[in-house]
Structure formats: C-alpha cells, structure tokens
Structure 1
Amino acid sequence: MLQRLKKNVPFIVSLVFAVAAAVLIYTSVQASRPTVPVLVATRNLSVGEKIALSDVAVKRLPVEAVPQTALRDPRQAAGQTVTGAPILTGDVVRAEHLSAESSLAATLATYAPPGWVAVELPPETGKNMEGVRRGDTVDVYAETAGGPNGQGTVVGVVAKGAVVLATPWTTVGTSGQQGQSASSKSFVVAVRPEEAPTMASLLVRGKKAAVTLVRRQ
C-alpha cells in the first residue's frame, strides 16, 4: 500500500499544482473583468414606499450584468417612490422601478388598469377583513335608492371588481416600513371613473359600505 502511494506521489503533486493553477487563473480573470458601480437595495422595498438614502447602496458589478437603466448614484433614488413591483434586497435599482409620484399615485399606477381612480371608503369598512391586501379584488356594497315601488333603499353593488390600494393594516407609514399606520382608518380602492361619484357620495353623506373579496379566476 505504501509502495503504491509512493508511486502515485508525482501524480498527486501534479494534480495539486494543476488545481492551484486553475484557481489562480480563474481568480485573475475575475479580477481583470471590468466592473461598474450600480445601485442595489439594502432591504425589501414595497410598491408605494419612498426611498431613503439608507435603503440603497453602491456595489460594483461586471459590466455585462448591469442593465442599461440601472441607477449609479444614491441621490438618483432618494425621495423617489417604488412603482411597478417590489424591489428585493440586493436587486439592482432601475429607473423603471421608481416614480416621482406620491405613494398612492404610484400604487394606483401599479395595481389598477389605466384610467381608474382612487377613492376612499367610509371609516370602519371591512374592519374584520384583515386578510385583504393591496392588489386584491373586491366588490363594494352600499345602500342605493330604489326599493319596492321606488321607495326606501336596497343594498347593492356600487363598485364591481374594485382593486384594493390601501387598508388600515397595510398602509405604508411615514417611516417607510410597511405596517400599521395610525393615521389611516379606511380602505382605499381603485374603481372605474363612472363609479367614482357614487363611491365618493358614501363618504360625503356619512353612509356605510361593505366589501367582499373576489376570488381571482
């Protein structure tokens, strides 16, 4: 056994040197690859959040791995609002990820079809539906005129397929972290423009509303 091992020593030494040389060549090639500074997220950023300087950092990446729309300077992102989709920790921050619009406007543009408008629902709406989150689809019910013989009121759908933009438990607060917001007491939903007047009248007239969660097809 010892004799066989001695015979294989030259081969083993050659193999070790070959592996070491390969590692050295790979390291040298990697070190010589051109890199550029890009902006990456330091934490998960939700749609509608306003970016602070502490939310991004500069990292050098190989040129071929950097999108053309990547941002390079933290000042380009600070004060901007996340739109389109969340930015995950370590993701390259791109120009299309950000908007100069307000948090609600960016959320509306992200989750609702073009042309839809945001409207606030009366306080206490959906207070027991804490499973509802932004982007969910709901039907909104409220009292409408037109009971039997044109008298009284009935409960009917005043907005069908509305898109949830904010709730009392998922509103983005002033700290930039997603969570409970003490200043928010209502749902905000996106509806078709023709539904907006009826929806707004609920709040103006002190009416109540209810929401039902619609299962996506």
Structure 2
Amino acid sequence: MLRETTPRPAGPRDRRRRRLARRWLSAGLTAAAAGVAVSALAPPQPATRPVLVATRDLPAGAALTVGDVRSDERPSGTVPDGALDDAGARGAVLSGAVRRGEVLTDARTTGAGLLAGQPPGTLATTVAVGDPAVLDGLRSGARVDVLARTDDPVTGLPTGAERVASDVVVLAVPTTATGSGFLGAAPGGPGSVLVAVDPPTAARLAAASGRTVLALRAP
C-alpha cells in the first residue's frame, strides 16, 4: 500500500536558488524590454543606391576599363545627379581627372559623345555659319552644305563660292546667337556649329576658316 509523502520544507539552499532564478529572469526580461525600446527608437537605415567609383586616380582623356571602376552602395540622398551605371561607363572617356573613390557622373565623362553612331574615323569640326539668321533653322541632325567664299588673289575682291562639304550632319548648334565659348557666337561675329565629317573634308574646312557659309538642305 502506497503512502503519501509530505513535501520536504525548502531549505536555505533551495530558497537561495529560487531567488537567483527570479533575479536572472527579471534581468532577462529587463534586457529584452530595453532591446525592444532601442530598436523602436533607432532611426531606420537609409535607402542606398549602387554607384560606380574609381578604383584609382585617373587622368583626363583616359578611356574607362573594367579595372578602373567598381560598384559601391551609397545612401540615395548623397548620390549626385548623373551618376553612371555600367552601360553609361562602358567605353566612356574622362573629360577631367578623377580621384580614387570618386563617384563617376556624366559630367566627368564624354561617353560616346556627339559622334555616337557615326562611321569610324569621323571627326567633329566647327564651322562658322556666316549668317547668324541661319541658326534659327538649325537643329542637331540637320543636313547642310558648307560653302567657302572665293576671292581674287590680286584684288582681294569676292569672286564666288565653292562647295567644300556636301550633305554633312549637324551635331550641335549654339544655344543662342549671342553666346560665347566653344559653340557660342562671339559678339559681332558669326556663330559656329559642330558638324561630322571625314578627315579630308575636315582639312578643307580648316583651310576655309573665316570664309564659310552654311546652306541648310531640305529634309
């Protein structure tokens, strides 16, 4: 016949163990609560964007290669406008020196540039318009002829004109007829446009500098 056993009264060692267990449990709950609070108060991690940065110092005129750039993650708010991706950097040429770790942007590269899609060996050459009024009808992609005024070698009087370039494409035109700079018109002088030509034609245009007149072709 089984006998009922009376629980043994807890001794000092048992009470001490129970107190330690309660303290450890309380400390664990406090730490967990603190962790939750810190997590709730901590600001969220900023969103990032992939960018391309230079792996070393690069000089102006360098054509970018795979070893010149690497991908990096930067906070979206710090990424500059025009940041290049892999496609934009492929074959790009630096327009200025770049420091190691610098984010590459379109302002630092010429890319394929204005000559994209032109036949190999094509040159971009400036041509004086002759009559600034012609600029109003010019747009990138227009086809033009370039004429050069001819003068009498003795008297210096104009004798006519010769065609030095035929059916060439306009790459860029000045934004205003009174601007200044590479494509802008000098005060009191004609504007210039950028055209795509082969090397022999570029040489003829250079020889005719100061005497050219642009003729716009019908579409």
TM-score, scaled to structure 2: 0.42
TM-score, scaled to structure 1: 0.42
